[in-house]
Amino acid sequence: MGTRFTRRRFLAAVGAGATYLALANTVGCESSEHTPKVAPLPGVPLPPRGGVWTFRSRPDLSPPSVEVTTEAHDDTAPGYIFLAPEKGGAGKGGSMIIDDSGEVVWFHPLRGPYGRTM
């Protein structure tokens, strides 16, 4: 009398529909070589050269700004750069991870007379 609609057929139909929706927006798209950049917040200037970063969410943190002036070599993989604290300089000293453009990804300030290890 009619086709029996089982759970297996229902899940197959849902899977096919989800696959269609996922691929419908990507077919015909061209890959982009441009990396999206994060725009600064209005009214919040970028840190000056040799200055420090400030964060609304963590005003107690003030890592030094870093300017990347040398391009990575061909045999160097893109990714994060790990920096160790140096005595003196702008901002609070601490361990820091930055991306290839010098944006702070992670910062851990030194505390106490000798600092703490990570």
Q: Give the DSSP per-residue string, 1-17.
A: ------HHHHHHHHHHH
Q: Where are the beta strands (DSSP E) in the chain?
A: 81-83, 94-98, 104-109
How far, in Å, CA of 11 to CA of 20, rounded?
A: 14
Domain residues of the chain, as ranges?
Answer: 45-118
Determine how many CB atoms are found less than 10 A away from the CB of residue 110: 15
Q: Give the residue with greater pLDDT, 99 vs 38.
A: 99
pLDDT of residue 4: 73
List, in sequence order, every residue forming a beta bridge with 83; answer none if it has no partner. 96
User: What pTM did the predictor assign?
Assistant: 0.44
pLDDT tens for each residue of 17-58: 677 666 665 555 555 555 555 555 666 556 555 677 777 777
The tally of CA atoms less than 13 A away on the side-chain side of residue 81 is 16
Would you place residue 116 in the very low, low, confident or very high pLDDT band (cuts 50, 70, 90)? very low
> Which of 110, 96, 100 shows the shortest CA–CA distance to 79?
100
